[in-house]
Chain A
Amino acid sequence: MMHCNRCGGILQENAEFCPHCGNAVAPIAACPNYVNPYVAFMGYGMAPQVTIQYNGDPAEQTGYERYPGHEEVVSIKGLWKRYSRKADWAVSNVSFTCYEGEIVGLLGHNGAGKSTTLKCLEGMLPFDKGEIKIAGYDIQKDGEKAKAHMGFVTDNHATFVKMTGLQYINFMADVYEVPSKVRVKRLAELERVFQLGHPIENLISSYSHGMRQKICMMGSLIHQPKLWILDEPMTGLDPRTMHAVQEFMHQYVAQGNSIIFSSHALNTVAKLCDRVVLIRKGQQVDELNVKEIYAANPNFDFEEYFLRNEKQS
């Protein structure tokens, strides 16, 4: 008997899709001893017959809900990146898609390749193979147009520290060509979420880690981007702001925007994401539909799953 490697449901012989969760399945050829960690964890026993193949358009193969009427905001196909010719691949064959109104989380341990994937997506790093499209624009060919549709927050919260918070936000608004009246209104909205307060008039060099993070987030949202990319967004935030940011993320995608973020915080990922892309040693090892998993098993424990996955690898 074959089981779906995502929801654990029973599959019919020669089935291409799981009838329960729509997951694409294919017979495994390369590794007869493959043990799907999720299946093993869920107690369905050995399932050497199935795995996910990520060649080509992942959306077509994985059979996820297509978000009818929603467009692709990000499409990453076969991304390969290494830092030098002698070095190992930092990212190898990563492919995933993010649709309008979706939150996608990149999950992996330190050095797994999450930040590198995000930096390639943001256009900060060149990559060796593959294709990245944001709002239909190729990041390599139409970089400026692609970047105009996204806002980003880096893991090191780099800003121009000799500017005041206000000057920095104004600078970002200038770069994204936000009209004067709109930027004042948006700043007020963002201030309600992040509550930076009076220090917005101080030099960023005097900010604490958390305050720098807030100003980075505010700067990245001033043009209300279609795609918001965050690298480890919750690290260093106080619990109140963390809660406010999570609420804001839900509201933001409800307006038809999309968010991609990387994190170690498994519970945050579980709470926020629609889908999770699991990356290990630069390789995409799994892609989980969080809502469907919870629908199939409300007691699903992400942390335990992640740890077991790591251990078995």
Chain B
Amino acid sequence: MKNSHNANAQAAPAAGSGKGGVNFRTVRALLRKNGQERRSMFRAGQFDFFGFLLRILLIAAIVALFVMFFGRFVDVYVSIKINDKTDVMARSTELLTILYSAVILGMVIGGVGQIGRELFAADDMKILSAMPINAKTLFLAKLISIYRGQLVIALVSVFTINVTFALKVGVTLVFWALTLIICFLLPLITILISAVLVLPFQAIKRFLRERFVLTFILVTAILGVSFWLYSIIVGGVKQLLLGDSLRYFFNARVMKSIRIACSWLYPARWFANIISGSDPIWSWLELAAVAIVCILLAMLVIKRILVRSMQARNQGSSASILKTSYVMDKRNKFVALLKKEFLMIFRTPSYMFSYFSVAVIMPLMVYFCMDVGASLVENLVGLDSSLELALFLTILFGALTNIFCATNISRDGEMFYSVKALPLDFRTVFFSKIVLCLIVTAFSQVASAVLLFATGIVGAVDALFLVFVGLLFSFVNIAVATRYDFNHAHFSSEDDGEIKESSGTVSKVIFMGMLLSFAVGGLVLILKIFAQLRQFAYGALTYILAGGLAVISAGLATLYLLLGLKKKYYEFSGGGI
């Protein structure tokens, strides 16, 4: 009996051991499980066809825009002469290196997040970590599963880049064969790099877990710096398109800098070398070496830390936040709900990032885009359309900030039921959510207007008008998103109730926000240009149109929010759990 028990224990090493080789039969079983879980999303009644279609359309629109603009840029870039000579192969390699670097960076960041989620937050890990599956098998199965997802991203992004490139530069059949190989190889390398980076990232996350203020400052700073860098690039593009001085932008000094930078952009450089045919053999060898090093490092990671980290997750946290005094001040119900809503967002890093940090950065986004856009329009059309453009950007970025409201109800999870059992009027429950969102959006809108006014882009009256219209359209976004989420609520099954995957509701809210911004901002902008061309008096049409549409939209949104809300609230038994 004892021997048989030992034999079983040897045959089935527990996840905690981390010993033993990879069991490919188990890997296959785990992948099958993953596949079945993914397919379940497409079951009738659960599949959100409209949301799916919207996502596809959004991706298609981004790809089309990229092909259009990048195609023109390729033309310009490959024809640059250095010492009166063009070098298509060298320019192509540089361009591909930069673009592949961007793709790799995005995929590594995505990969780190995905691996972290799969290993430390996925529901099934609680069960799998207690099953007789060794850590290497588990890790491999998870990596393959993530690889499948990244392969789709690689196919879309690499093919988009290479197709655009092929349209401008003559290519052979080998180019397409190599493109296909790179599509399969690129996610492999990015996943291996992500696997090595995931544990330091998790360590930082654990350190920041309950340091909410520090997290907020860090995340906002990173976002701010990223946007500042982005604005520099966009500013450069603007100068490239407009300024005379930029006719000579790609001078010898700039080209030398690009060449040096590209020579250090590994591993993108190797992929670019392979596809453009410059030094392909060395590039293959170097890629293989990097892959091997990453595999070894990933193995070390599993052996040293993975198992302990998984067990630590099951154990839960024992960290204590700073001591709170036992003073229990009384607030009214509305303020209590408002505080609760704030804490729920502020203490969930992903929510904090997608709402508070984005809201803080939004004025900068508007300012940078305004800075680039206003002069661009002025130079192209010869028209001062600062107010119209500012309106467009304010509504657009306001909508992007308020995407978060698409989870206003769902993120309460099971607690939404419990709140129903509290002596609270349904209006108090809903308005507390909407008012918090309005406070956040008001901060963003006012800060944007102040920044635009302070930098002289718009006048005082226009700044006030921007706040008025921006707030009304933000209210439209918030009210519609909240009601739509209430009608289609889906609660998370996670312990902490955190929603980790965006739903169809999110894509619909993005779509609506963009539609509004293009409809209103685009309309006034086009009308102003049309008026200029036809030379008729434009007058205060922007104020009338945008202001009128904002008031009408806000009225309709209020109706949508309130119509049948009481009945639906008391009858609510949704949430998908």
Instruction: Report A's interface with B, CB cutoff 8 A.
Output: 83, 119, 122-126, 140, 143-145, 147-148, 150, 152, 154, 156, 158-164, 166-167, 169-180, 183-184, 187, 198-199, 201-203, 205-208
Contacts and interface: CB of A to CB of B under 8 A. Distances in A.
Given A147-B421, A152-B421, A160-B344, A201 B323 contact: yes
B349 to A, nearest CB: 11
B379 interface: no
B339 A206 contact: no
12 contacts: A123-B420, A126-B573, A154-B414, A162-B348, A164-B324, A169-B328, A174-B336, A175-B336, A178-B330, A183-B328, A183-B330, A205-B495
A202 B321 contact: yes
Contact of A180 (B328, B336, B348): B328
Contacts of A140: 570
B465 interface: no
B424 A124 contact: no
B326 interface: yes
Nearest to B329: A180
A183 B330 CA distance: 9
Contact of A167 (B318, B324, B421, B425): B324
A167 B340 CA distance: 9
B33 to A, nearest CB: 25
Given A143-B570, A175-B333, 19 more contacts: A122-B420, A124-B418, A147-B424, A148-B423, A152-B418, A161-B496, A161-B497, A164-B321, A170-B328, A170-B329, A170-B336, A171-B339, A179-B330, A187-B326, A187-B328, A201-B324, A205-B495, A206-B316, A206-B319
B465 to A, nearest CB: 38
Given A148-B423, A203-B210, A160 B330 contact: no
B317 A147 contact: no
How many B residues are at the interface, by size bracket? 35 or more
B156 interface: no
Contact of B332 (A172, A174, A178): A174
B429 to A, nearest CB: 10
Contacts of A203: 210, 317, 321, 347
Interface string B346-379: 0110000000000000000000000000000000
Contact of B418 (A145, A158, A167): A158
A71 B417 CA distance: 29
Q: What are the 4 closest A-B residue pairs judged by CB atoms, nearest first?
A: A174-B336, A158-B414, A162-B347, A122-B421
Contacts of B83: none
Contacts of B344: 160, 162-163
Nearest to A81: B573
Interface string B224-267: 00000000000000000000000000000000000000000000
Nearest to A122: B421
Contacts of A144: 423-425
A174 B335 CA distance: 9
B424 A123 contact: no
Nearest to A148: B423
Contact of B415 (A152, A158, A167): A158
A176 B423 contact: yes
A103 B323 CA distance: 38
A152 B418 CA distance: 9
Contacts of B418: 124, 152, 154, 158-159
B333 A177 contact: yes
B46 interface: no
A144 B335 CA distance: 18
B504 interface: no
Contact of B424 (A161, A167, A175): A175
B435 interface: no
B324 A123 contact: no
Contact of B317 (A173, A177, A205): A205
B433 to A, nearest CB: 13
B328 A160 contact: no
Nearest to A123: B421
B423 A145 contact: yes
A126 B344 CA distance: 27
Contacts of B496: 161-162, 205
B343 A160 contact: yes
B570 A174 contact: no
A171 B348 contact: no
A199 B320 CA distance: 8
B111 interface: no
B127 interface: no
A187 B324 CA distance: 15
B328 A147 contact: no
B43 interface: no
Given A83-B573, A152-B421, A160 B340 contact: yes
Contacts of A143: 423, 570
A237 to B, nearest CB: 18
A161 to B, nearest CB: 5
A163 B344 CA distance: 7
B421 A174 contact: no
A271 to B, nearest CB: 27
A147 B422 contact: yes
A206 B321 CA distance: 11
Contacts of A174: 330-333, 335-336
B326 A162 contact: no
B413 interface: yes
Nearest to A163: B343
B84 interface: no
B295 to A, nearest CB: 35
Nearest to A198: B320
Contacts of A199: 320
A77 to B, nearest CB: 19
Interface in B405-454: 413-415, 417-418, 420-425
